[in-house]
Amino acid sequence: MKGCKEIRKILNRYLDKETKEEENIFIQKHLNQCLQCKKEYQEIFAIKKMLQEKERLSLPLDYLVFRLRDKLKEEVKTKERLAWFLEMGNFSRRLIPVPLTAIVFLLLFMIFNLRQLPANYSVEDYLLNGYQITSENLIELILGL
Amino acid sequence: MPNDEFYVEEFLSGRKEAFEMLVRKYQNRILNIVYSLIGQDQESEDIVQEVFLKVYHHLKSFKKKAQFSTWLYRIAVNTVYDFLRQRRQKITKDFTLEKIATSYDNPQEAYFKKEKEKMLKIALSKVPLKYRTALIFKDIDDLSYEEIARILNCRLGTVESRIYRARQILKNEFLKLSAGLI
């Protein structure tokens, strides 16, 4: 017959009905003879019973279903909003060359026109050396060339 | 009544009501496991919702090698662990809300029952999470060692030893608390 040490090892399994039939016979026989093991068994049995009788929470049948429906709708809306922003972002990115090209053309146009026209104005009428400022000089001065 | 696999198939073929059937079937079981693990009933509802949202989004990737319930419990455990890791809370000290109020004719009996619940909650909080999880699956949801091993992805012997340790700690803690009352 198995000793107390061996019995204690499988006592929890016995309590949880996880032992084999032959083990059950050994354990039952031992418990009838050994007060200490019987006490141990009664203690763990009480613990198990207490947990089994522990208060249980219960949700109304459709409570969670409704909560989930709302949450999923919310998720869909958020996704749609995000998709719209992403779409707009892509669209804007596709449009970036348009203002860039316009700026380049504008600059070229300005430079070309200013080169053509004789300047009838100047920042100062004369530079230190007394030359008249042409539009070309002006641009070169601005650009630091 | 159709089994879980039927509802999973139905959901995957586009019937969303099938998912709701699974929610109705498992909501209280998951709720009580989550509640027993974290000890907070208000937070438990949110966690259960999160669990089912994860199920909804990942059901397509569910491999039918395991049972649906095993997969669901695994998600529940992981969600609880994540929650506890984030909050770094072991268990609440809030005992205010009791969802199912059992009516007792005898007020003394009701008082003792309530006290016992409080003590159990405190004692459970002293049990390390790994052990507590195995014990709760066994005693709250009455799963077999084999099912618990599958959910927790460990060996049968590990489940057995975790349950043994959990009961020993719970017993000692409960005795300490009871002694404090006398």
Chain A: residue nearest B141 by CA? A52
pLDDT level of residue A128 (50, 70, 90 thresholds): low
- CATH number (1.10.1740.10, 3.50.50.60, 3.40.50.300, 1.10.3720.10) of B4-87 reads 1.10.1740.10
Domains B4-87 and B107-178 share a fold: no
Q: For chain B, which residues lie within 8 Å of any Cβ of chain A, measuring from their own Cβ?
A: 20, 23-24, 27-28, 31-32, 35-36, 41, 44-45, 48-49, 52-53, 56, 98-100, 102, 116-117, 120, 135-136, 138-140, 142, 144-145, 160, 163-164, 167, 170-171, 174
- DSSP per residue, B26-81: HHHHHHHHHHHHH--HHHHHHHHHHHHHHHHHHGGG--TTS-HHHHHHHHHHHHHH
CA distance B85 to chain A (A): 24
Domain boundary assignment for chain B: 4-87, 107-178
Query: What b/e sequence results for B5-37 when a residue is b if at least 16 CB atoms lie within 10 Å of its CB, and e otherwise?
Result: eebbebbeeeeeebbbbbbeebbbbbbbbbbbb
CA distance B172 to chain A (A): 10
Measured distance CA(B136)–CA(B142) in Å, rounded: 8
pLDDT at position A40: 94
> Going by C-beta distance under 8 Å and a sequence separation of 6 or more, which residues neighbour residue A114?
A135, A136, A138, A139
- CATH number (3.40.50.300, 3.30.465.10, 1.10.10.10, 2.40.10.120) of B107-178 reads 1.10.10.10
Q: pLDDT tens track of chain B, all 182 residues?
A: 789 999 999 999 999 999 999 999 999 999 999 999 998 878 999 999 999 999 999 998 887 788 999 999 999 999 999 999 887 644 444 433 344 445 556 778 888 888 888 899 999 999 999 999 999 999 999 999 999 999 999 999 999 999 999 999 999 998 888 877 65
What residues of B are in contact with residue A45 (Cβ under 8 Å)?
Answer: none
Of B99, B160, B170, the CB nearest to A47: B170
Q: Do A18 and B32 touch (CB under 8 A)?
A: no
The predicted-structure confidence for A20-73, as pLDDT tens digits, reads as follows: 999 999 999 999 999 999 999 999 999 999 999 988 999 999 999 999 999 999
Q: Do A57 and B100 touch (CB under 8 A)?
A: yes
% chain A with pLDDT above 70: 83
